[in-house]
Structure 1
Amino acid sequence: MKSPVSFVVAALALAWGGAQAQGTIKIGEINSYKAQPAFLEPYKKGMELAVEQVNAAGGVHGKKLQLVTRDDSGNPGDAVRAAEELLAREKVDVLAGSFLSHVGLALTDFAQQKKVFFLAAEPLTDKIVWESGNRYTFRLRPSTYMQVAMLVPEAARLQKKRWAIVYPNYEYGQSAVATFKKLLAAAQPGVEFVTEQAPPLGKIDAGSVVQALADAKPDAIFNVLFAADLAKFVREGNTRGLFQGRGVVSLLSGEPEYLDTLKGETPEGWIVTGYPWYAIQTPEHKAFLDAYQKRFKDYPRAGSIVGFNAIQSIAAGLRKTGGSADTEKLIAAFRGLQVATPFGPITYRAQDHQSTMGAYVGRTALQQGKGVMVDFRYMDGARFQPSDAEVKQLRRAAE
């Protein structure tokens, strides 16, 4: 015969199990909302839309998703402190987010130290899934390698020999430039890189940078600047005629976050990666666009897609685990996980935890006083990866 205490313990266990089955899965999200609002305000809306859609459909195995966000001020130390607080005080089940590459690397290391699942939604540095990768970290957005690899065939077609390069002097910029040099030199033997300008992030002296590039007399320019640095660079470059008669290949510059800021100053004919939301005609994207505009009375930006896909990815992983947020089960679920997105299906590669989400490549143009992308096509991220053998070598310390 069981004691009264045994009955109490059994009853409590049953009640706890029922609460868990009908409970909430908490996603702790850390990002540079104040430092990078142009991208991250739409990103947050994308996440909110996805959470609402998942929960309206009954959640994941009966569990609702709850988003708990923190601002990292664009600082790795603040990001780690936020992650610690989310785990200790908010008791979140998984971590997600980050925008700037050096912040993403700090959270990647934190995930390994604390053995917690982390989905790096936006930071682009290759190190997150290669040299500094680990079993706890997966990455959604196409990396610097992938996006540069999408641009290099177009750069080679320009048949320009003398290239100048400008980039923000931190991990993302350095990574993008190293890949561009390597891939373009392989695609176009004999190419020369005649000058580099690497201003600190957010602190560009645009006049000096533009003059230094012009003095080198390049045939073409590879640009990696974004946000306020990009706007200052374009304005000064237009004023001084830097772009006239020169090919320009520019990472991210076709995203509406940045074209909206440039407005009528948008240079025409740049080869860019971006997001032409206004002209994508696939059923998946139309469904997303309609839902987003109905919910927010606004059009989506690239950040909106990333935020939406991040939550949908976590939900897909949780469905595969049966609703469990156990770290090891999520890791197993994400390796080879397929997710339906507004860009079509994507897969999280087992070999390096990188998703195959792609990007659009096209040219900039002015239409009705606004910058847009034209002559674009979608590049499937699965096509722009190193070989498995190369990935294995790059990731040799990750597991």
Structure 2
Amino acid sequence: MKTFLLAAALAVIGIAAHAQAPQPIKIAAPVDLSGAAADVGADALAGAQFAVEQINKRGGVLGRPVALEYRDSASNPQKGISQATGLLQEGAAMLLAPQSSASALAVSKAVAAKMKVPTCVGVSIADDLTMKDFNPYVYSVTPTSYMEGRAQAARFAKLPYKRYALLSADYSGARAGVNRFKEFLKALNPQVEFVVEEYPKFGATDYTASINKILAAKPDYVFSILFGTDLLTFSRQASALGFFQQINNRFISLYDFNTLKAMGSGAPVGTEGWERAPANQFSGHGSADAKAFVDAYKAKSGAYPSDWTIMTYDCVTTWAQAANIAKSIEPAAVMQAIETGEFSSPRGKYRFAKYDHQADVPVYFGKVQQDKAFGQPVLAIEETIPGTVSRPTEAVVQKTRRGE
């Protein structure tokens, strides 16, 4: 009898303890872990996972642990919509947009706007997300094509080049980036001309035709929006054909930390690039908090965080900071906190504009060099253009929404 009573008492204590344990707050993430954006998706997932781990080490959000639930959206917009919807129906309080621009736009329109859940864009630069097709439950921590185009044009308007070749993967975010660069550079320097434009498919495996067309046009400079596997494949083929030597390294593209690592000794040293979140800059020239973040991530994973990792980390930690500011995970309260708060990140402090929920994050420019300290090529940063300079004004955003 005593044994029975003891067992019963222990069972009651166990039930009570379980009942008192706070339930995790779920974050939903359709992630492009296969398909054309797979390399970026893997880095983004690592950033989200690390953010959740760090948040939980600090006590969670409002005293509750955070849990990440994700699916492989395969770089497919319809799959992304289906997975995001299903995950949110299971009770997630926050949504991470997929990485490819097409999927991010699709999820923003079909899911975030309908289900009214805070949704963060941490990779795509498609400015439609925050401008033309904006909805009040989406926020972006990556510089948009408008911001990057404006920053790039400001840099190149000071340089003597007149004849530009343009090279971009054929998808909405990159096309928008090229168009913004052309628009802003032409406004600042009407003498420039664009002598050839090449748009190979996203995930192309053979760039020979584009390389030959660009060389035949004899440009002063080659402006490219390639990244990840596309940039890696292009650079290997271009190096084999002597492309960079023939254009005197007058080439720029989006170099992220992991792509440079994959290039290794074959990286086109001396070419230029831009980054959205360069780990080498944060580790060697950033704040103490930024260095601590890079060191902690490397200690955990054995590798340095890529741009995609850092920005997706910022997506999750921004939401957590906003929930703590609002003292609520209720969507409207969180979004109000995002509109009014200041947020900490490895990239420094940033704020969001109320009219587009775009963070005033910087764009970093530099040159590719081999770095012994990191044991790989890095982009040695020469110039940082703040988001307060490059982001659109409210008048510009409203004009875009009116279709003007």
TM-score, scaled relative to structure 2? 0.87
2:368–2:377 Cα contact (<8 Å) kept:
yes
Q: Summarize the alignment of residues 336-355 of structure 1 with structure 2, pairs less than 5 Å apart.
A: 336-355=340-359
2:279–2:304 Cα contact (<8 Å) kept:
no
Shift in Å at residue 48 of structure 1? 2.0
Q: 1:128 to 1:394 in 2, by over 3 A?
A: same
Instruction: Look up the match of 1:379.
Output: 385
Deviations 1:75-134 (A, max 9, x none): 00000010121022x321221131111110001102112333211221110100001111
Shift in Å at residue 386 of structure 1? 2.2
Q: Summarize the alignment of residues 73-92 of structure 1 with structure 2, pairs less than 5 Å apart.
A: 73-88=74-89, 90-92=90-92
Amino acid in the other structure paired with 1:203:
A
Instruction: Look up the match of 1:296.
Output: 301
Amino acid in the other structure paired with 1:170:
Y
Amino acid in the other structure paired with 1:343:
R
Instruction: Say if 2:254 is the partner of 1:252.
Output: yes
**3-state SS of 2:92 partner:** coil
Amino acid in the other structure paired with 1:93:
A
Q: Summarize the alignment of residues 14-53 of structure 1 with structure 2, pairs less than 5 Å apart.
A: 22-35=22-35, 36-53=37-54
1:148–1:251 Cα contact (<8 Å) kept:
no
Instruction: Look up the match of 1:96.
Output: 96
Shift in Å at residue 40 of structure 1? 3.1
Deviates more, 1:363-372 or 1:109-118: 363-372
CA distance in 2, matches of 1:159, 1:51: 47
Shift in Å at residue 143 of structure 1? 1.1
Q: Summarize the alignment of residues 319-338 of structure 1 with structure 2, pairs less than 5 Å apart.
A: 319-322=324-327, 324-338=328-342
Q: Summarize the alignment of residues 164-203 of structure 1 with structure 2, pairs less than 5 Å apart.
A: 164-203=165-204
2:126–2:145 Cα contact (<8 Å) kept:
yes
Amino acid in the other structure paired with 2:355:
Q
Instruction: Look up the match of 1:60.
Output: 61
1:150–1:361 Cα contact (<8 Å) kept:
no
CA distance in 2, matches of 1:131, 1:60: 32
Deviations 1:17-71 (A, max 9, x none): x979933211101110223343333332222222122222222221221111111
How many percent of aligned residue pairs carry the same amino acid?
A: 27
Shift in Å at residue 276 of structure 1? 4.4
Shift in Å at residue 219 of structure 1? 1.1
Instruction: Look up the match of 1:318.
Output: 323
Amino acid in the other structure paired with 1:388:
E
1:130–1:394 Cα contact (<8 Å) kept:
yes
Instruction: Look up the match of 1:205.
Output: 206
Instruction: Look up the match of 1:394.
Output: 400
2:38–2:75 Cα contact (<8 Å) kept:
no
CA distance in 2, matches of 1:293, 1:370: 15
Deviates more, 1:70-79 or 1:140-149: 140-149
Deviations 1:153-203 (A, max 9, x none): 332233111111010111011101100101111222210001111011012
Amino acid in the other structure paired with 1:341:
S
Instruction: Say if 2:283 is the partner of 1:282.
Output: no
Instruction: Look up the match of 1:12.
Output: none
Instruction: Look up the match of 2:364.
Output: 360
Shift in Å at residue 375 of structure 1? 4.4
Q: 1:384 to 1:217 in 2, by over 3 A?
A: same
CA distance in 2, matches of 1:147, 1:181: 12
Q: 1:139 to 1:20 in 2, by over 3 A?
A: farther
Instruction: Say if 2:248 is the partner of 1:242.
Output: no
Instruction: Say if 2:311 is the partner of 1:309.
Output: no
CA distance in 1, matches of 2:341, 2:122: 15
CA distance in 2, matches of 1:43, 1:280: 23
CA distance in 1, matches of 2:260, 2:342: 31
Shift in Å at residue 243 of structure 1? 2.5
Deviates more, 1:35-44 or 1:116-125: 35-44
Q: Which runs of 5+ in 1 are unaligned?
A: 1-17
Amino acid in the other structure paired with 1:355:
A
1:270–1:363 Cα contact (<8 Å) kept:
yes
RMSD over aligned Cα atoms:
2.4
Shift in Å at residue 139 of structure 1? 1.1
Amino acid in the other structure paired with 1:54:
I
2:367–2:381 Cα contact (<8 Å) kept:
yes
2:360–2:388 Cα contact (<8 Å) kept:
yes
2:252–2:273 Cα contact (<8 Å) kept:
yes
Q: 1:248 to 1:145 in 2, by over 3 A?
A: farther
Higher RCO (Cα < 8 Å, 6 or more apart): 1
CA distance in 1, matches of 2:369, 2:79: 39
Instruction: Look up the match of 1:106.
Output: 106
Q: Summarize the alignment of residues 201-240 of structure 1 with structure 2, pairs less than 5 Å apart.
A: 201-240=202-241
**3-state SS of 1:195 partner:** strand
Q: 1:336 to 1:206 in 2, by over 3 A?
A: same
1:147–1:251 Cα contact (<8 Å) kept:
no
Q: 1:249 to 1:318 in 2, by over 3 A?
A: farther
Count, aligned residues: 379
